[in-house]
Amino acid sequence: MAEIHELSAVALRDALRSGELSARQAAAHFLDRIASGNPHLGAFITVTAEQALKDADAADSRHVRAAAGVAGDGPADLPLLHGMPTAFKDLTDVAGVVTTHGSAALEHKAAAADGALAATLKGAGVISLGKTQVPEFGLTAYSENRIAPPSRNPYALSRSSGGSSGGSAAAVAARLLPFAPGSDGGGSIRIPAAACGLVGLKPGRGLVPAGESTGDPAGLVVAGPLARYAADAALMLDALVPPQPSRQSPGEPAGRRGSYLQLAGQEPPPLRIGVSLDSPWQAVFPFTPDREALDALETGIRLLEAAGHETGEAAIRYDNRYPGAFTTAWTAGVGSARIAPQREALLAPLTRTFRRRAQQRSAAKLNEALGFLRQFQRDTVAQFSAWDLVLSPTLAQTPRPVGWFTGAAHGDGYWPAEWPADADDDYRKQCEFAPWSSLVNVCGLPAISIPVRWTGGSPGAGLPMGIQLVGPMGSEALLLQVAGQLGF
């Protein structure tokens, strides 16, 4: 058998269920990799090795009982992700573990109970190895904060792994984990997936009941998988959304009757795919995509056409009021976060600036923004409906250097006590870096990032670049099928 960390998540799951590997073997192997790799990578804020090994031993005991049929247990009664190691973003409560939210301004106390996402995946059998690096309150497209070293890109340690699920993406890409859950409120799964060469799936609004946010009046945030392969992402999605044969989501293909893993292995039908570089941020932050982003788009078009799909230009018109409305909704939660007045000076400049603006904003202004976003959703979904899927680059630039957004020099340590960041310049850079991501959250649609190109010309050489495919409601299985069809 290959080294444990070289196995796909599906293959590792099968080895754990069959007894070829024990849960303790798997947990210990990945904990060893974390111990050796994380000091350079900064993917983890907290490693819970002792608890992970206890949980793995309990999983192995359950496997023994299931194999023997003790007390009515049998192999079929093992949970879907029996013994699978993973980790949670440090925005997610895990019982007995500190949740930092990436902020020095909060008191760091151990969570009394599992949050919804951790409870769901633990119930499916996962073993949590710790908490991964995030930006403060998950607000940014890079995973850097004042409490721990920045999360770095496994393919170039001077570069960022993206955000806000940057620590989780870095850990999966570096094979410190087989796969990991992320959460996405404005691109937080797809951005780090693209930066780290992974498949990252943002499910549609309402499909996954578990997600994390400090406040989400627009319903932007949803949990989803980060994985090396589409099949691995499908396996985690099955744990997040157990199959319900008697139900069918609105817009879901009639064939959705099995697990996402089963469906992901099927060939998709020929599709009409609209290609667009239009962005609702362009009116406020004009940008020109990097050559590397356009190369990734061209590669994606070539692969899709070779697979039998039709592509064509999709001219999408966006209302130029979008940037202000999205920013109002996106930052509403940080305005209401419970932070002691004497600790507010410990917030990062961007967080502090947007918190102050949110607190000064009237409820009527927020409601106006939310109403506009609902209309934006209707208008955009109507335009997208002319195509089966809509294609763009995931990112407009290559993964950015660590500290690039804020102007801070990290070296090998934490943030400096003071940094030269300008909040508005930081935010502008993020919107130009990922101009096609947040609109998908506003529309509530499923989307996937697929790593189709490397700047060095071959997989693993240089920096990864991805494409984003956006589908109609209920198209998660279809997006996974297309990713699998393209070889991921």
Q: What are the residue numbers of the active site?
A: 89, 164, 188
| Site of tokens 């670049």 | 465
On the 0-12 / 13-18 / 19+ scale of CB atoms within 10 A, 107 is exposed
CA distance 459 to 229: 13
Q: Which two tokens stand for residue 155?
A: 């393919």
- Report DSSP state, residue 82: T
CA distance 393 to 296: 7
CB contact set of 418 (below 8 Å; sequence gap of 6+): none
Backbone angles phi, psi at 40, to 5 degrees: -90, -30
Backbone angles phi, psi at 143, to 5 degrees: -105, 75
CB contact set of 50 (below 8 Å; sequence gap of 6+): none
C-alpha dihedral (263, 81, 28, 142), degrees to nearest 10: 60
Backbone angles phi, psi at 375, to 5 degrees: -70, -40
C-alpha dihedral (479, 451, 278, 329), degrees to nearest 10: 80
Q: Which residues of 317-351 are buried (b: 16+ CB within 10 A; e: fewer)?
A: ebeebbbebbbbbbbbbbbebebeeeeeebbbbbb
Whether 395 contacts 293, CB under 8 Å: yes
Q: What stretches of 126-225 show up as alpha helix (H) in DSSP?
A: 166-173, 190-196
Q: Which two tokens stand for residue 81?
A: 């992700």
Residue type, 182: G
Alpha carbon distances (Å) from 354 to 152, 303, 330, 336, 422: 25, 41, 10, 11, 12
